[in-house]
Amino acid sequence: MRYLPLSPTDRAEMLEKIGVTEINDLFKDVPETALLKEYVDLPAHMSEMAVDRDFRAMADKNMPAGSVPFFCGAGAYRHYVPSTVDHLIQRGEFLTAYTPYQPEISQGTLQALYEFQTQVAQITGMEVSNASMYDGSTACGEAVLMARRASRKKKAILSGSLHPQYIEVTKCATKFTEDIPLINPPSIYLVDDLINQIDEETSCVVVQNPDFFGNIQDYTKLAEALHAQKALLVVVVTEVVSLGAVRSPGAMGADIVVAEGQSIGNGLTFGGPYVGLLATRQKLVRTMPGRVCGETVDADGKRGFVLTLSTREQHIRREKATSNICTNAGLCTLAFTIHMTLLGEKGFRHLARLNHAKAVQLADKLSAAHGIKVLNKSFFNEFTIELPMDAAEAIECLADMEILGGVPLSRLYPNDPDMKNKILVAVTETVTEEDMDRLVCALKELIK
């Protein structure tokens, strides 16, 4: 059986090999008082067919994103992934590959990572990228630690319009090393508010673009103010498709860019695994966490690839490591690279324009409906609306109508009464006009 591969004979041979006669001998050093006197209250073992049937019954209780009109975003977006991506990443040489410690037998993996780094650097407007991040939120925490190493200062300022889960992950990752003040209120803030918080102890300011509520920002002035204090600007991008249309963080003067790359090549998959991106300026490369793959030539002058930098604890003394990440989301990274290669620059920009156009179309339909207010002055493919009723209740009612209508902001800001009636709505190329009309009609029915 696939999920329980050992037979009684297999177990007996293993016990004999290690010199014991039964399973209980493996636990002889555990105090008697710590051992259970009876079996744990769990169902008895089942056949493979029965397990498959039960799990399918559980799965059927879900409402998958592709089965109904879907408008959820907030850091994870439903985009169309070409079948070519899934076909290629399931090839054995990619599916079973691990960390490329031996470059002479890992040229394919190293080249794929090299191409990935090149793509990330190009879309973020930066000079160098790594290939070692788990996801956007943990990459954000790594960026704050990186800024501290580069600036030798401890104060990190997190914008109130940064994704609240990114804020929590970053605080957790840096709680023993950083002084992190949070700028409030979370809904709207001015760049000047952030500039006024900068002082001689500031290592970095972390902002998001488009911000969590969908607003597009220009951080050029903030970057200049930070550089005057020898501090760094960290820009977070949770919807990487936006980089096909919105001015790049590098063009605004960002020193470190972190992003969630899930939108390219990777499905929602009920929350992961995803792929984090981190790019920076060449002068900061030695403080960057993780690994960097580089291009070189071999003894015969032929093109080849190697791990140029790998500042992880497996390779150097732990206290000297810039990262304790133990592996990378290699298959998700490959999916990103394949999808981006299929798109090319022209296709990537077209995809971004299509997302924005569809979001504008829905925003116009919602604005025309009585009682619904679109709060954004600018946005890419995600915006915030306000209803004359409790947003969480509205979302539940929409789900009963088989419409996943967005993310109620009270879910992420449970203690903020200002968020009670607001919904974050995302629109991608997968949304049809019929989907939009169903959402608008359903909301009209709820608030009439």
Regarding whether 267 and 137 lie in a shared domain, the answer is yes
Which of 319, 340, 361 is the last residue before a domain boundary? Answer: 340
Burial zone of 283 (CB within 10 Å; 0-12 exposed, 13-18 middle, 19+ buried): exposed
Regarding whether 177 and 76 lie in a shared domain, the answer is no
Domain that holds residue 273: 83-340
Regarding whether 118 and 248 lie in a shared domain, the answer is yes
How far is Cα 182 from Cα 164, in angstroms, rounded to an integer? 11
How far is Cα 425 from Cα 363, in angstroms, rounded to an integer? 9
Q: For 97, what's the count of Cα atoms within 13 Å in the CB-facing half-sphere?
A: 28
Instruction: Supply the DSSP string of 265-331, one letter for each residue.
Output: T---GGG----EEEEE-GGGGGG--SEEEEEEE-TTS-EEEEEEEE-BTTTS-GGG-SB------HH
The proportion of the chain whose per-residue pLDDT surpasses 90, expressed as a percent, equals 73
pLDDT band, residue 330 (cuts 50/70/90): confident
Over residues 331-356, mean pLDDT? 97
Regarding whether 383 and 333 lie in a shared domain, the answer is no
Q: Please count the structural domains in the chain.
A: 2
What is residue 385's three-state secondary structure?
Answer: strand
- Which residues, at least 6 apart from 430, have a Cβ–Cβ distance to it below 8 Å? 66, 70, 78, 79, 80
User: Would the pLDDT of 310 be above 80?
Assistant: no
Q: Is 218 inside any structural domain? A: yes
Q: The whole model's pTM is what?
A: 0.88
Burial zone of 207 (CB within 10 Å; 0-12 exposed, 13-18 middle, 19+ buried): buried
Regarding whether 286 and 380 lie in a shared domain, the answer is no
pLDDT tens for 104-117 read: 888 888 999 999 99
How far is Cα 404 from Cα 396, in angstroms, rounded to an integer? 9
What is residue 337's three-state secondary structure?
Answer: helix
Q: Is 42 inside any structural domain? A: no
Q: Do residues 344 and 324 lie in contact, with contact meaning Cβ atoms separated by under 8 Å?
A: no
User: Would the pLDDT of 365 be above 70?
Assistant: yes
- Sheet with 256-260: list strands edge to edge: 128-129, 276-280, 256-260, 232-237, 202-208, 155-158
Regarding whether 308 and 227 lie in a shared domain, the answer is yes
CATH number of 299's domain: 3.40.640.10
Note the pLDDT of residue 1: 45
Tokens matching residue 205: 């300011």
Q: Is 60 inside any structural domain? A: no
Regarding whether 258 and 119 lie in a shared domain, the answer is yes
Q: Which residue has the higher pLDDT, 150 or 95?
A: 150
Please state, rounded to an integer, the average pLDDT across all residues of the chain: 91
User: Would the pLDDT of 234 be above 80?
Assistant: yes
CATH number of 442's domain: 3.90.1150.10
Regarding whether 224 and 149 lie in a shared domain, the answer is yes
Q: Is 5 inside any structural domain? A: no
Q: Is the Cα dihedral 435, 436, 437, 441 positive or negative?
A: positive
